[in-house]
Structure 1
Amino acid sequence: MIKHLQIMALVSIFAIAAGCQTNQSTSAADVKAENAQMDQEAKAALKSLYTSTPQARVLAQKAKGILVFPDVLKAGLIVGAQHGQGELIENGKVTGYFSTTAASYGLQAGAQKFGYVMFFMTYSAMNDLKSVNGFEVGVGPSIVVVDSGAAKSLTTATAQSDVYAFIFDQKGLMAGLGLQGSKITRLDR
């Protein structure tokens, strides 16, 4: 029975990985359409976050950059994987596209879709993201994942960390959700 469950988990991980491949041959028009769709999804994700957590809008006004991942898919059974694509916004303009990927193992089962936004509060944290190919969450600048309780007391005066992350719009059923160990990589588009 356990071997059967492990095989099902591996099949689900390979299915996610296959769906996330970005090495497909695409024309300039296709890339432009993908970017436009990502821009719309990122704006909708930010609007959703700001509606549910108004304190995030306050952080956004002081942030040096905002990295938005509107749709991240996580699935697994003992072994899990997650992947999503997003964009970096600086001074109201999109300056790059990124992917987020993570693998995990342990007591987990299910599938879930969620979004997350990272507010980069310092230029040094922004430089870490932009200069390293493969920025890893939990290595480098200090990152605080803000829950709804902590968000209520968060102000620009109390915000002292390099990066603040908000996870929102969770859909699906999966125990455990975190960003630790996620690798963020710039996309060539």
Structure 2
Amino acid sequence: MSSETKTSHSPQILTRRNFVLGGSAVPLLAACGNGVNSQASQRLDARVDSAQEFMFQEVPGTEELAYNAAGVLIMPLVTEAGFGFGASYGRGALRINGATVDYYNAISGSFGFQIGAQQYAHALFFMTEEALSSFRGSPGWAVGADVRYAFNASGASLGIDSNTLTNPVIAVVFGQAGLIAGATLEGTRYSRIIP
């Protein structure tokens, strides 16, 4: 009789367990943006389109840079926050001839006195095929001292010339108010992702 009791109760316990486990898994699956039929890549492309349009309008000379570049990585929104230790994170798209070919995230961390948060966007212009190949072939490409930063003074053009175009990688950091002078991406690491 005790074996009948175990048998008759086991399906109920199993059913309840499956119900609880299944019920708790539904919100987790719904919260995950990487499922089949996910719209994450379209949303990210839309953000990249908006950031690129803003950059072209607010930072004169960037459209010419993009035209001459072998590829452009656009990070539409990077959030940086810190309280003693700082970190930043953002996602964007690499475009070649205006078409998205890959998606990347950008991560950095720093130590030192820092309190607060800020958001900004940036673009990396790969001016040579070699620089673009090095970036795409790396499992975790980091910004070093060899990256040239393009700045302008009070809304003037970036002053693109033949010397500028020979730099392998040019970085432009911009935000809601336009170009952010003095900003640096040094130490930022980029990795390919699937949004």
Name the residue aligned to 1:181: 187
- Flag structure 2 segments of 5+ consecutive residues without an equivalent: 1-31
Q: Which among 36, 39, 48 is matched to residue 42 of structure 1?
A: 48
The yes-or-no answer on 1:26 pairing with 2:26 is no
**TM-score if structure 1 supplies the norm length?**
0.77
* CA contact 1:84–1:99 (8 Å) conserved in 2: yes
- CA offsets per residue over residues 80-124 of structure 1, 9 Å max, x none? 000000000001111000000000011211100110011100011
Question: Helix, strand or coil for the counterpart of 1:39?
Answer: helix
Name the residue aligned to 1:51: 57
Mapping 1:80-119, distance limit 5 Å: 80-119=86-125
Name the residue aligned to 1:145: 149
Cα pair distance change 1:25/1:34, threshold 3 Å: closer
After TM superposition, give the deviation of residue 26 of structure 1 in Å. Answer: 2.6
| Whole-angstrom CA distance in 2 between matches of 1:39 and 1:152 | 27
State the percentage of identical aligned residues: 27
State the AA in 1 paired with 2:109.
A
Name the residue aligned to 1:154: 159
| Whole-angstrom CA distance in 1 between matches of 2:85 and 2:176 | 20
Question: Helix, strand or coil for the counterpart of 2:159?
Answer: coil
| Whole-angstrom CA distance in 1 between matches of 2:43 and 2:158 | 34
- Flag structure 1 segments of 5+ consecutive residues without an equivalent: 1-23
C-alpha RMSD of matched pairs (Å): 2.0
**TM-score if structure 2 supplies the norm length?**
0.75
After TM superposition, give the deviation of residue 154 of structure 1 in Å. Answer: 2.3
State the AA in 2 paired with 1:158.
N
| Whole-angstrom CA distance in 2 between matches of 1:56 and 1:50 | 6
| Whole-angstrom CA distance in 1 between matches of 2:147 and 2:183 | 15
State the AA in 2 paired with 1:94.
T
